[in-house]
Structure 1
Amino acid sequence: MPRDYVYAVVYNGDAKDAHRYVLVGTKFAKGYFFGNSQTHQGEVYPNGVDLNGASRNCLPGGGLSNPESVIQGAFREFREETGYSVDGETVRQTRTWFDSTLGSNYSASYIETSLENMYVLANNASYISLDQAAGAALEIRYGQIRQYIQIHAPWNYPNAPGDNELSRIEIWDVWDQNTWAAYIQPWQGNAALGWYYDILEHLRNL
């Protein structure tokens, strides 16, 4: 049965000076650990698992779990992939599309925050939690970490996210024509990135 997907679109609700910023991630080629935020358990993979959209840009997100709502799923995915929470922020809108090729729904939760908070999230994720995730992945590869529970021990990588998917988080301006033309427009119709194009195109018009 096809799986449904959900994405967290964290953007500046206080848009000023014709700028609308959004948090965009970059994926690793492989992931070495994956957890379940509901059970607080997970698995490590010394040989790594090839990631969908490997080494490409993405929005934080993934499979929607039953019986989650789109909003709940987006909040959970953001926590699992970045190590930080946006649960207290305002969800302005949700939107769902259908991919007839895969038979799957893909949804976005448009989460408003301040630009200041976006900088805090991007910096903390990139230089603290995702950096720790990279360190944990290296130790998993070399057999120094053998169980998921070891990753977040205080003496190891306590700030690492639950999943090892993202290498960094950046802030992009979807209202900037150069950014749109160079980085986002080419995603249209792409099998791996087309969903992100649809989601960000909708963000431009919010």
Structure 2
Amino acid sequence: MYYPEPISKLIDSFTKLPGIGPKTAVRLAFYVLEMEEDDVLEFGKALVNAKRELTHCTNCGHITDQDPCSICQDESRDSTLICVVQDPKDVIAMEKMKEFSGKYHVLHGAISPMDGIGPEDINVESLIKRLKDEGVEELIIATNPNVEGEATAMYISRLVKPAGIRTTRIAHGLPVGGDLEYADEVTLSKAMEGRREL
């Protein structure tokens, strides 16, 4: 189907976003055409500003507009406790819980030999440096409960073990409110492994 070049480029731009297929891209492009010009300019400005003004914290790897990030600067947080996550989105999810008072380390990915991603391609080296420099007593590994996340967790735990730092893994299993009959075998297996005394 023929579209004038400006809208065709807009549609192409939207299809580069994750989860946006061709039909959704067309809908979004035509929606943008109906928006007030000021709103479109604000939207464009927000995109450019986010790209230009955000960086990664040189300490933990989280996204920030100041370096070090506000979490690393917060002296009330427990620096002997570090939670290792795959992505900045995971830090935000943990912070919404409002129960974790330690600090974070963002790996920016997970080990995935199938995709050619090895330990040297994720933010592990700076984690090891932090463990030596910051007097960390416990490392909580909160990578995703998939093959890549498990491989990454195992790699990090083996790397850290000689240092004598307590290394734990977040529990996986049945979600609260979930029914056993709908759970897959892996989820049930993890739930059984992670059982605790009542």
TM-score range relative to shorter protein: under 0.3
Q: Which entry has the higher C-alpha Rg, 1 or 2?
A: 2
TM value normalised by structure 2: 0.23
More strand by share: 1
TM value normalised by structure 1: 0.23
Greater relative CO (CA pairs within 8 A, separation 6+): 1
More helix by share: 2
